[in-house]
Chain A
Amino acid sequence: MYDLVIRNGLVVDGSGLPAYTADVAVSGDSIARIGKVAERGAREIDAEGKVVAPGFIDPHTHFDAQMLWDGYAKPALSHGVTTIVQGNCSLSLAPLKPDHRMRLVGMFNQIEEMPLKAFREGVVWDWETFSEYIARIRKGLAINVAPLVGHSVIRLWVMNDAATERTATDDEIEEMKAVLRECLDAGAVGLSTSYVDMDEKLQPVPSRYADAREVDALASVLGEYGRMLQIVPEFYDPDLTIARLDQLAELSLKYGIPTTFSPLFVNADNIDAVDRVMDRVDEQFARGARIWPQVQTRPIDISFCFAVPSLLFIRLRSWYQIMRFGSHDEIVGALKDKETRAKLEAEAGELAPLWPTLILRQVKTDANQKYVGKTLGEIAEMRGTSPVAAMIDLSLEEDLQAHFLSSSMGHDNDEKVGGLLKHPRVHIGASDGGAHILSFSTYGDTGYLFGHFVRDLQAMRIEEAVKKITSDTASIWGIPDRGLIQAGMVADITVFDPKAIDRGAEKFVQDVPGDGSRYVRDSLGVDTVIVGGGVAWSADKGYQDQRGDVLPGARAEAPELMAAE
């Protein structure tokens, strides 16, 4: 008897080859047989009319903190994601000295918009080294985690305060190399660094004080292991992005490592910029370099309320200073103060076309419910005021809990984005799962891929889309034994209805430690998610088995790193 048999599903095996109908039998943590399976399973799943695919792999997340209180990475797992890469953008939670904890929390708060209270109330700080952190998250792990180690964190560990003051000495670089080796030996899938991010004092993060010599030295260590280098380039400027990807290409060629950069957006203001970047990517791949651009599936939208700082306001210095550094009472005081308010309204003129388009999505009071779903332009007309004044007034009336949505921030050109997602040298990713929890939902990008680009627009075949987020991703990251429905592979499997899969509506929920809230989306059309042979989530019974692992794991000593086109 098998442990599990999935019957009569349409197997989309992750290779990109045409789908076929078959049973899939699982023994222990592995796929045992594919075809007509006569034997019964201890557990059986009827997949008639449904797709049986390898579990999805999300290569760009920030679940580092959430994994300490939630080994399911909710709700990512319910969307069919069975493996997450965390520790992106130069930030991981290890290695970490006790003196640096609050500094790193400040960076996570500033860059990834993760609430300070969640760290204070959801985290027991009982690790310092990377291996201690890995041991900590292994308890109760239901999803697979492929953790990057952050360059900024290694710099802090070795250089302390000098990490944000100067370049490293030769001795410090040697020490950083040794620390990186320890992390890779402990299970890190690679190193992440950033060229754009700012810390809690709005100063550059430690990785930005590294010169090319230091990055080269760390890349040489990655070369010893064949592991990934992830960077955040200055993505807002194509010339800068190209300069960075040229740097990555040289490191990839010199040390034989895979590299990836994220994000790459389709910018409505400069629609051809992405073509220039992709032309350069093609040229560098032709030289033999591996520089994978990560492209997200979903359009950009941002929600906000005045109770927490929002990246939407980062270009408006006075607004951002008040929201970033003010207490609740100070923010209310500033908005009520005539002089300050006049200054803010004047500064808001820089983004004048934006304000009338914002949608009021949520309020607390009955009196303002009539405005929910309307734009600030409409509300301003109803109130006889300006959109910015209406936004401020509603925020004060709602004690800063009026939530607004900016729904068209870019990356919404379906033809252009669809073409990118299909591109053989584009890596589908950049979801940012677990981050920006008070600005937008980072869950459901895979549902959006299948619902919008495969089913509605028919921009990709379903086999292509599955391959992109399973076997391609496993190959790019050197994760062995996953990403294919094939006998002998680890049984990470997602069963979904191709006619129904999608992302649910964005909603605001309170499930973060410290009474915190976040935006999430439920999965639609996902039936069962299997990790390591166990049912980790099903639509009828919710979250279940905890058989997640830390990847790439011991079997990755000689990874095959070339993704097939």
Chain B
Amino acid sequence: MAVAGSLSTVRKSVLPEPGDDWASIASRELSGSSTEEAVANLQSWNLHVFMRAPAAADSPQAGNPILPSDVIFVEPPAAPAA
């Protein structure tokens, strides 16, 4: 199918790969920072995931709030237009 028209730049995001957690996404997408700093940034940019109620202790998701369908932002939100 022919695709015409261009897209403006929007906030950059990724979808998780199998087995991803904060650290693996941080090392892949924010390799210029230390892991600790990159994870902290990711968490602050993705409060919709980071603030999620924890899964039950016996759940395979326990300890990792990232779902396979989540959108993970890899940059901060744009400043509001003046």
Partner-B contacts on A (CB < 8 A): 165-167, 195, 201-204, 207-212, 215, 234, 237, 239-240, 242-244, 246, 253-254, 256, 272, 279-280, 283-284, 286-288
Q: Which residue of chain A has its CB nearest to the CB of B12? A: A243
Q: Are B10 and A165 in contact, CB atoms less than 8 angstroms apart?
A: no
- A213 to chain B minimum Cβ distance, whole angstroms, is 9
* Measured CA separation A211–B68 after assembly (Å): 5
The number of chain B residues touching the other chain, given as a range, is 20 to 34
Q: Are B8 and A234 in contact, CB atoms less than 8 angstroms apart?
A: no
Q: Are B7 and A208 in contact, CB atoms less than 8 angstroms apart?
A: no
Q: Are B10 and A243 in contact, CB atoms less than 8 angstroms apart?
A: yes
Q: Which residue of chain B has its CB nearest to the CB of A255? A: B1
Q: Are B60 and A288 in contact, CB atoms less than 8 angstroms apart?
A: no
* Measured CA separation A240–B46 after assembly (Å): 10
Cross-chain pairs A/B with CB under 8 angstroms, 12 sampled: A195-B71, A201-B56, A207-B69, A212-B69, A234-B71, A240-B71, A242-B10, A279-B8, A283-B8, A287-B3, A288-B1, A288-B4
Q: Are B3 and A239 in contact, CB atoms less than 8 angstroms apart?
A: no
Partner-A contacts on B (CB < 8 A): 1-8, 10-11, 13, 15-16, 18, 48, 53, 55-56, 59-61, 67-69, 71, 73, 77, 81
- A160 to chain B minimum Cβ distance, whole angstroms, is 14
* Measured CA separation A320–B1 after assembly (Å): 48
Given A165-B59, A243-B10, A288:B3 Cβ within 8 A = yes
Q: Are B10 and A280 in contact, CB atoms less than 8 angstroms apart?
A: yes
* Measured CA separation A180–B3 after assembly (Å): 28
Q: Are B7 and A166 in contact, CB atoms less than 8 angstroms apart?
A: no
- A354 to chain B minimum Cβ distance, whole angstroms, is 21
* Measured CA separation A287–B7 after assembly (Å): 9
* Cross-interface CB contact of A210 among B11, B69, B81, cutoff 8 Å: B69
* Measured CA separation A246–B12 after assembly (Å): 11
Q: Which residues of A contact B13 (CB under 8 A)?
A: 239, 243
Q: Are A239 and B73 in contact, CB atoms less than 8 angstroms apart?
A: yes
* Measured CA separation A481–B25 after assembly (Å): 50
Q: Which residues of A contact B53 (CB under 8 A)?
A: 202
* Measured CA separation A37–B46 after assembly (Å): 64
* Measured CA separation A239–B60 after assembly (Å): 29
Q: Which residues of A contact B11 (CB under 8 A)?
A: 239, 242-243
Q: Are B15 and A212 in contact, CB atoms less than 8 angstroms apart?
A: yes
The main secondary structure of chain B at its interface with chain A is loop
Q: Which residues of A contact B71 (CB under 8 A)?
A: 195, 234, 240, 243-244
* Measured CA separation A279–B9 after assembly (Å): 12
Q: Which residues of A contact B2 (CB under 8 A)?
A: 288
> What are the nearest 10 A-B pairs in CB distance?
A286-B5, A211-B68, A243-B71, A287-B5, A239-B11, A165-B60, A167-B68, A243-B13, A208-B69, A287-B3
* Measured CA separation A239–B75 after assembly (Å): 11
Q: Which residue of chain B has its CB nearest to the CB of A283? A: B7
Q: Are A211 and B5 in contact, CB atoms less than 8 angstroms apart?
A: no
Q: Which residue of chain B has its CB nearest to the CB of A203? A: B55
User: 15 new A-B pairs (CB below 8 Å) besides A195-B69, A203-B56?
Assistant: A166-B68, A209-B68, A215-B69, A234-B48, A237-B48, A239-B11, A239-B73, A240-B48, A242-B10, A244-B71, A246-B7, A256-B1, A279-B8, A280-B8, A287-B3
Q: Are A166 and B48 in contact, CB atoms less than 8 angstroms apart?
A: no
- A217 to chain B minimum Cβ distance, whole angstroms, is 13
Q: Which residues of A contact B7 (CB under 8 A)?
A: 246, 280, 283-284, 287
Q: Which residue of chain B has its CB nearest to the CB of A270? A: B80
Q: Are B1 and A253 in contact, CB atoms less than 8 angstroms apart?
A: yes
Q: Which residue of chain B has its CB nearest to the CB of A239? A: B11
* Cross-interface CB contact of B67 among A208, A272, A286, cutoff 8 Å: A208
Q: Are B3 and A253 in contact, CB atoms less than 8 angstroms apart?
A: yes
* Measured CA separation A254–B4 after assembly (Å): 14
* Measured CA separation A280–B71 after assembly (Å): 17
Q: Which residue of chain A has its CB nearest to the CB of B59? A: A165
Q: Which residue of chain B has its CB nearest to the CB of A233? A: B71
Q: Which residue of chain A has its CB nearest to the CB of B73? A: A239
Q: Are B5 and A283 in contact, CB atoms less than 8 angstroms apart?
A: yes
Q: Are B67 and A209 in contact, CB atoms less than 8 angstroms apart?
A: yes
